[in-house]
Amino acid sequence: MQRIYQPQVETLPRPKLEALQLERLRQTLGRIAANNPQYAQRLNGIQPDELRRLDDLRRLPFLTKDDVRQSYPFGLACAPPGDFVRMQMSSGTTGTPIICPQTAADVAQWGSIMARCLTAAGLTRADVLQITPSFGLFNGGFGFHYGASAIEAMIIPIGAGRTALQLQFMRDLGTTAIAAIASYPLRLIEVAEQQQFDFRRDTRLRIGILGAEIWSDEMRRRIEARMGIETYDIIGMTETGGVGMGLDCAEHAGIHVWEDHYLIEVVQWETGEPAPDGEWGEMVVTTLTREGLPLVRFRTRDITRIVSREPCRCGRTSLRVARLACRADDMLKVKGVNFYPGQVESLLLRHPEVGADYLVVIERVDGADHLSVSVEAAAASAEHGASVMAPGAELARRLADELYDLLALRAEVKVLRAGELPRPEGKAVRVVDRRRA
Residues lying near Zn ion in the complex (CB under 5 A) are found at 249, 251, 312, 314, 316
Closest by CA position to 63, among listed 306, 340, 282, 305: 282
Q: How far is the CB of 118 from Zn ion (least distance, A)?
A: 15
CA distance linking residue 230 with residue 250, whole number of Å: 9
Instruction: Specify whether the backbone of 20 is left (phi greater than 0), alpha (psi in -120 to 50) or beta.
Output: alpha
CA distance linking residue 155 with residue 25, whole number of Å: 35
Nearer to Zn ion, 156 or 314 (CB): 314
Closest by CA position to 158, among listed 425, 355, 432, 364: 425
Q: How far is the CB of 283 from Zn ion (least distance, A)?
A: 18
Nearer to Zn ion, 10 or 218 (CB): 10
Q: How far is the CB of 267 from Zn ion (least distance, A)?
A: 24
Q: How far is the CB of 314 from Zn ion (least distance, A)?
A: 3
Q: What is the distance between the terminal CA atoms of the chain, rounded to a whole angstrom? A: 53
CA distance linking residue 120 with residue 101, whole number of Å: 27
In terms of DSSP bridges, do strands 281-287 and 255-257 run parallel, antiparallel, or are they unpaired? Answer: unpaired
In terms of DSSP bridges, do strands 320-321 and 255-257 run parallel, antiparallel, or are they unpaired? Answer: antiparallel
Nearer to Zn ion, 252 or 350 (CB): 252
Q: How far is the CB of 1 from Zn ion (least distance, A)?
A: 11
Q: How far is the CB of 246 from Zn ion (least distance, A)?
A: 10
Nearer to Zn ion, 245 or 373 (CB): 245
Distances (CA, A) of 427 to 213, 264, 419: 7, 26, 17
Nearer to Zn ion, 182 or 249 (CB): 249
CA distance linking residue 318 with residue 321, whole number of Å: 10
Q: How far is the CB of 117 from Zn ion (least distance, A)?
A: 12
CA distance linking residue 198 with residue 167, whole number of Å: 10
Q: How far is the CB of 213 from Zn ion (least distance, A)?
A: 23
Closest by CA position to 131, among listed 120, 118, 122, 144: 144
Please answer whether residues 317 and 12 qualify as being in contact, where contact means their C-beta atoms are separated by less than 8 angstroms.
Answer: yes
Nearer to Zn ion, 117 or 347 (CB): 117
